Amino acid sequence: MKPVSILAPLFVFFSFGAAIPQGEPSNDGSVVEADVEPLPGVKIRKEHLFVCDSAPFKGRCQNLENDAGKCYNLGNRWPNTISSVKPSKGTTCTLYNLFDCKGKKLNGIHRPGIANLADNHFNDMTNSFRCS
């Protein structure tokens, strides 16, 4: 038997690679976000969530750019201060009252947004969010 006929199947087997899990595996079917660079040439879709600390869309406001599907904790400027939210066109967002997209949530937010989060019992409660 030629060495090439032995090595060829091994090369094919190992060239497909194997996924190496990051973090502890979960039994509930959820996935663990890995800290990896995107593949060359692949663009990550950017979303936007416009937030204001006063209703309706008044006071201090900022357009928060974010990667679709990724959870974002709010930095020092925004936790527990958001009163109005408006996702970009075609975007749906979920707000969470705890960091790391945990705790009580307000989901299904899409254009035209929510001018007064107090109407949904979520005023000044947001600490993290996720848009897709």
Instruction: Give a yes or no: residue 24 inside a domain.
Output: no
Instruction: Give a yes or no: residue 81 inside a domain.
Output: yes
Instruction: Give a yes or no: residue 119 inside a domain.
Output: yes
Number of domains in the chain: 1
* Contact between 82 and 117 (Cβ < 8 Å): yes
Quote the pLDDT of residue 46.
86
Q: What is the CATH number of the domain that holds 57?
A: 2.60.20.10
Instruction: Give a yes or no: residue 31 inside a domain.
Output: no
pLDDT digits (tens, 9 = 90+) for 4-32: 555 444 444 333 333 333 334 334 333 33
Instruction: Give a yes or no: residue 72 inside a domain.
Output: yes
The proportion of the chain whose per-residue pLDDT surpasses 70, expressed as a percent, equals 67
Quote the pLDDT of residue 39.
53
Instruction: Give a yes or no: residue 1 inside a domain.
Output: no
Domain that holds residue 50: 46-131
Instruction: Give a yes or no: residue 127 inside a domain.
Output: yes
What is the C-alpha end-to-end distance of the chain, expressed in Å? 54
pLDDT digits (tens, 9 = 90+) for 44-87: 678 899 999 999 999 999 999 988 889 999 888 888 999 999 99
State the amino acid at position 63 in one-letter form.
Answer: N
